[in-house]
Structure formats: C-alpha cells, structure tokens
Amino acid sequence: MDIMKHLSLHLLGGVSMFLLALLLGLAAIHFCGSSVLYLSKSVLPGISGLGLFSLVALNDFMVTPVSPDILIFLISQKSPGSYMLITALGTASVLGGALAWLCGRSLENKFKAARVERFVAKNHALINKYGVWIVALGALTPVPYSLTCWAAGALKMDFPKLFLMILLRIPRFIIYFHFFAISAGIIQAKI
C-alpha cells in the first residue's frame, strides 16, 4: 500500500502544480496582458508547424525544466481556435515520451546498480500493477513527463500498456489549451 500513498501524494502535487500554473497564467494575463500578447504574436509566427512539433517532441524526450505548457499558453493567446495544431503538438509529445521510454530501456542495461536491481526485484509486482498509472500522472499533470517515461523504460515496463497512458498527453494538451484560452477571455466556455 506504500505505492498508493506515493501515488496519492503525486496526484495531489500534480493537481496543485496545475492550479498554481493556472493562477500564474491568469496573473500574467491580468498584469502583463499586452506583453503576453506581444510575445505570442511576435515569437510564434516565426516558428513553423514542423518547428513547433520538433520543439515539443524534443522537449518531452529530454528531461528539461521547461514545460510545453508555456508554448500551449502562448498559442492559446495568439490562435485560440488552433485545436488541430494543439492536437499535433500532443502527438509530438507522445512521440517524445515513446522515445524517452526507448532510451530508458536501452540505458537500463548500462547503468544498473545493485540497489536498483534489488528495488525492481522486490517491487516487480507493484511496478507492473501501478507503474502505468504513474506514467498517466506524468502524462496528465505537470509531473515531469519525460522523466516518468525514461524511468518506465529503465524499469522494463510493458510498452503497449504504457502507450495507452502516454496517449493521455493529447487530451491533456487540448484541455490545457482550452483552459488557457478561456482564462484569457478569448473564447467563451460553453455550459
């Protein structure tokens, strides 16, 4: 049950981080609205769709402190109806996560430590049972997604099961995009 406690804490942390990001986004719009709009209108037009796709795939493949949420926010300010672009960027994120899993899987043999081996041997059943849900948390929340995908590869998690959780990145991108656009008052929420 220890893993369920950790899972609950990560979920609470992820929800808290999302709410904090949303509040910071709202504050940025309120206090710096013209600067945010200027940034979204001046920087984004210089980057092609393929460039944005590559940027998101690379960002979600590597472990970086920069979240693609910033890009989603800027696009929501510039082009509030860009659901096809956001869906494509969600697909890029899925590709980045799959590549991170593959790299984690290949590094697993090179960097094994006795401690990791013991952990995996001792917790193999728990990893198989709950591991995909931890990746789902990484896919849906600001928990470091690429790190969860690298770890999933290193822990030999089954890719077909994992892939279903990685696919959650696409609706996450769409939902965040929609919330950011609504928070800016660009589109109206339909009730």
Task: Report the alpha-carbon distance of residue 8 to residue 15 in Å, rounded.
Answer: 11
90 within domain boundaries: yes
As a whole number of Å, the end-to-end CA separation of the chain is 39
129 within domain boundaries: yes
- More confident position, 30 or 78: 78
Q: What is the DSSP letter of 80?
A: T
For residue 101 the two structure tokens come to: 């899993």
Query: What phi and psi values does residue 151 have, to the nearest 5 degrees?
Result: -65, -40
Tell me: the pLDDT tens digits for 109-143? Answer: 555 555 566 666 666 676 667 777 777 777 776 66
190 within domain boundaries: no
189 within domain boundaries: no
pLDDT at 167: 92
30 within domain boundaries: yes
Do 108 and 154 touch, CB atoms closer than 8 A? Answer: yes
Mean pLDDT of 157-171: 89
7 within domain boundaries: yes
25 within domain boundaries: yes
Domain hosting 59: range is: 2-183
Q: State how many domains the chain has.
A: 1
Task: Report the alpha-carbon distance of residue 138 to residue 185 in Å, rounded.
Answer: 28
Give the confidence band of 191 by pLDDT, cuts at 50, 70, 90: very low
Give the confidence band of 179 by pLDDT, cuts at 50, 70, 90: confident
188 within domain boundaries: no
